Amino acid sequence: MQILLNKRLLAPLIVLLSAFNILPVGLLSVANLDFLKVASLCIFFLSLLRFRGYFNTDIKYATFFFLAILLSALNMVSKGKYMDWTFFYCLNYLNLFLLLCSFKNIQDIKDYIGLLLSLCLIASFVHFIFYLDPSLLTGELNRIRMGSLILDARKIRVFIPAMGFIALMFTYLVSKLLYFKKLKAYEFILLIAFFASIFIFASVRTYLLGLGVALVMLLLSGRLSFIKILYFSGFVFISLFGLSLISSGMYEFIGERFNIFLQLKDFKFRDVLDLSVDYDNEQTFATVYFRIMEVIYVIQNYSSGLRTILFGNLGTLYDFLGVEMEIAPHISIFGLYYLFGMVGLVTFLAFFIYYSKMIISNLKKFKRTHLEFLSITLAILWFTLFAISFFGGIYYSELTLLVTFIIAASIILKRHPLHESIEN
| Domains in the chain: boundaries | 2-221+302-423
pLDDT of residue 315: 84
Q: Which is higher by pLDDT, 141 or 375?
A: 375
pLDDT 10s digits, 179-227: 998 899 999 999 999 998 998 888 887 888 898 999 999 988 888 777 7
* Letter string b/e over residues 148-182, b meaning 16 or more CB atoms within 10 A of that residue's CB: ebeeeeebebbbbbbbbbbbbbbbbbbbbbbbeee
Q: Going by C-beta distance under 8 Å and a sequence separation of 6 or more, which residues neighbour residue 342? A: 309, 310
With beta carbons less than 8 A apart as the criterion, state whether 358 and 58 touch: yes
**DSSP H helical segments within 51-84, as ranges?**
60-78
Q: Is residue 293 within 8 Å of 275, Cβ to Cβ?
A: yes
pLDDT at position 81 is 75
Is residue 385 within 8 A of residue 356, CB to CB? The reply is: no
In the DSSP assignment, the letter for residue 247 is: -
pLDDT averaged over the chain? 83
- Is 346 a residue whose pLDDT tops 90? yes
pLDDT at position 286: 57
N- to C-terminal Cα separation, the chain: 24
- Of 333 and 424, more confident: 333
Q: Between residues 312 and 291, which one has the greater pLDDT?
A: 312
The 10s digit of each residue's pLDDT in 245-281 is: 555 555 555 666 556 555 555 666 666 666 555 555 4
- Quick: pLDDT tens for 382-400: 999 999 998 888 999 999 9
- Which of 128-142, 198-212, 233-247, 341-355 has the highest average model confidence (pLDDT)? 341-355
DSSP line for 307-368: HHHHH--TT--EESTTS-EESS-SSHHHHHHHHHHHHHHHHHHHHHHHHHHHHHHHHHHTTT
The 10 Å CB-count burial string (b at 16+, else e) for 332-367 is bbbbbbbbbbebbbbbbeebbebbeebbeebbebbe
